[in-house]
Amino acid sequence: MRRLALFACICLATSVSAAPRAKLDTLTPAQAIARAASASPKPVRALFEFRVASAAAARDSYFLDSESDFRSAANLGVLIRASAMPGLTKKFGADLKSALVGKRIKLIGQARRLTIGRGRGPHTATQVEVTHAGQILSGD
């Protein structure tokens, strides 16, 4: 009986590991914004690719934007959490702004539609959250 159970576990593990991985769509900021708007409140998981137009440090996080005006409806924002900063510093250096602004990046994540802001009035934004350095694949 033990051998049969062991055989069944091995067969199951082999079939699960052999299953093909789902290929992620590569989206531009415009495509990401459109898909996130239609899927809201659910996130859209994809590979996002764009040229970084601006970057800014916040309290314990960092922001990258596809547009120079982060309030632009065409902007795809990236919120980099503190948990990702050590790995990104190792990968790109201490000055992320100099390392990434003007460069094309690819990152894996989930785009969500959010309502942001209070001071100058709330606006709707599309944002991808980065919690670990491995999500940003390149900065060419």
Model confidence pLDDT, tens digit, residues 64-123: 999 999 889 999 999 999 999 999 999 999 899 999 999 999 999 999 999 877 666 777
Pairing of strands 76-80, 123-130: parallel
Q: d(Cα 109, Cα 99) in Å, to the nearest integer? A: 20
Whether residue 21 has pLDDT greater than 70? no
- Domain residue extents for the chain: 23-139
Question: What CATH topology corresponds to 23-139?
Answer: OB fold (Dihydrolipoamide Acetyltransferase, E2P) (2.40.50)
According to the model, what pLDDT value does residue 3 have? Answer: 53
Q: Which residue has the higher pLDDT, 73 or 140?
A: 73
Q: Output DSSP code: residue 89.
A: H
Q: What is the pLDDT of residue 56?
A: 94
The continuous run of DSSP H or E covering 116 comes out as: strand 104-116
Per residue in 38-57, pLDDT (tens digit) is 999 999 999 999 999 999 99
Q: What's the confidence (pLDDT) of residue 37?
A: 94
Q: What is the rounded average pLDDT of the residues 10-36?
A: 74
What pLDDT score was predicted for residue 16?
Answer: 43
